[in-house]
Amino acid sequence: MKIDTMEEHSMLIFSTRYAMGRMSMAPSIMSDIIKSNLGVINTNTLSVISRDIGEADEDNMLGMKDIDVPLWGKLKKVIDEELLRRA
């Protein structure tokens, strides 16, 4: 996937925000999209997504405790590791 315009990065952020808290396939699909495109998503976009996941977790807004919360936690860990690698 090619993600190179500000609009595409914004759409990725907004789609991830939409998926948070949904009890559907959306969280899993967004997590898979982000992980499979980690190398082409810019640092700012990854930082925003990581921050959003952390804030949603603090507010208990990530979805089902047994399914969605661990999924988002794993994604945040992958993103944070990538951000550290880039630093």
What is the DSSP secondary structure assignment for residue 9, as one 8-state letter?
Answer: H
Q: What rounded mean pLDDT belongs to the chain? A: 94
Q: State the amino acid at position 77 in one-letter form.
A: K
Domain residues for 82?
6-86
Residue 61 lies in a domain: yes
Q: State the amino acid at position 51 in one-letter form.
A: R
pLDDT for 87 equals 95
pLDDT for 1 equals 63
Residue 1 lies in a domain: no
Total domains present in the chain: 1
How much is the average pLDDT of 57-68? 95
Query: What pTM does this model have?
Result: 0.93
Query: Does 36 have pLDDT greater than 80?
Result: yes
User: How many alpha carbons fall within 13 Å on the CB side of residue 69?
Assistant: 9
